[in-house]
Structures are given as C-alpha cells and as structure tokens.
Amino acid sequence: MDNTVAKVTSAQMTLFRKVYFWLSLALALTGLTAFLASNNPAVMNIIMGSRAALWILFIIQLGMVMYLSARINSMSLQTASMMFVLYSFIMGITFSFIFLVYAKTTIYTCFFITAGTFFVMSLYGYFTKKDLSSWGNLLFMGLIGVIIASVVNIFLHSSTLYYIISYVGVFIFIGLVAYDTQKIKALIGQENNEQNQKLAIIGALALYLDFINIFLFLLRIFGGGSRS
C-alpha cells in the first residue's frame, strides 16, 4: 500500500512540474508579447482603434480554448503544444492595451498580488484533505452571474455594479485556483508520457485562465492610477 501511495504521489508531483512549466511559459510569453506590442504603434492603432479587431481576437481565443479542451486527447502532443503557445501569444496581443490604460506601478502591483494569491490557493488546493468538488457548481453559477451582470452593465454604465462585478470575479477565480488544482491532482493518467504531457497542457490552460482573470479583475479594482 505504501509503495502504491508513493507511486501516486510521485506521479502527481511529476504532473504538476509539467503543469507549472507550461503555465510559467504561457504567462511569460503573454507578458512579453503584451509589453512588446504596447510599444509598437502599428499594433496599438489596430487594437485601440478597432472594436472589430478586439472582437475577432476574442472569438479566436474562445474558439481555441474550446477546441483545445474538447479535442486534446485526439490531437498530437506537438499540435496541442503549438496551440497553447499560440493562444498565449494571441492573449498577449489582446491585452497589450493595459500598458496604455493603466499605470505601470498598478500593473506590477496587481501582478504580484495575483501571483502571491495564486500560489497560496494552489498550495491549498493541492494539500487540503477537503473535497472541493462541491465548489464546482457554486463557482460556475457565480461565473455565469458575473458574465450576465457584465453584459447588463454595458448598458447601465453603473460604477457601483462595475466594482461589485470585479470583487466577485476576483473571489470566484481565487476559488477556481484551488478547485482546478485539486482537479488536476486527480488527473493521474496512464504511464504514457505523451498522454501525461497533454494532461499537463490542459491543466496549465485552466490555471492560466484563472491567473489571467484574477489579474484583470484586480486591474479593474486598483486601476484608477494614471499611466506612468
């Protein structure tokens, strides 16, 4: 029994090393791309000057997430890897506007707050003995509520609702970090190394989305400072 437990623990640690490798790579690529794009006037003219361009990028990102999540088991590891890297790059292009809208000190502060919160909640999700599966439906319903409220506020332009959505969004995705971490921990698959690499990519994608959303909601809360 002890030998079995040791093997499972080793497999979990191996999987998480791969998950955090892909997560770190994706965040670094997104951040670097966003910074470089923000210093490219041609790219900024397209991003800031055309709602259509932003919608196209958003639709592409949504399609890539849905496709990668649904088809990762049937695609090759190389294809899955390339799609995840490409997705991270496109996200960087999309979010390059933050360097024009928010103060750099605000961006860096929100990033470090996000990183620290993410680290703590991911550790909690990994080590807690509590079954977090019951969080799933609650967090999903909360997320749907945030999306609906965000759409409604497009027409209401309520600053109060804006901040309520932002705070609720932060707490939802903080909860999702722990929930997704525990869910990934249960994804101990076959001994096939390629299969485990694909599990790592899909796990990294879930945590990447949690991290990005916490960061963006925090920017909305603390982003009152002028650009510097």
pLDDT at 1: 47
CA distance 61 to 53: 12
pLDDT band at 140; cut points 50, 70, 90: very high
Is the pLDDT assigned to residue 155 strictly greater than 50? Answer: yes
Phi, psi values for residue 224, rounded to 5°: -80, -15
**pTM for this one?**
0.93
CB neighbour list of residue 125: distance below 8 Å, 6 or more residues apart: 132, 177, 178, 179, 180, 181, 182, 185
Please report, rounded to a whole number, the percentage of residues in the chain having pLDDT higher than 70. 93
pLDDT band at 14; cut points 50, 70, 90: confident
CB neighbour list of residue 18: distance below 8 Å, 6 or more residues apart: 196, 197, 200, 204
Burial class of 75 by CB neighbour count within 10 A (0 to 12, 13 to 18, 19+) = middle
CA distance 61 to 194: 24
SS3 content of the chain, % helix, strand, coil (to 5): 85, 0, 15
- Tell me the pLDDT tens digit for each residue of 162-174: 999 999 999 999 9
Is the pLDDT assigned to residue 189 strictly greater than 60? Answer: no
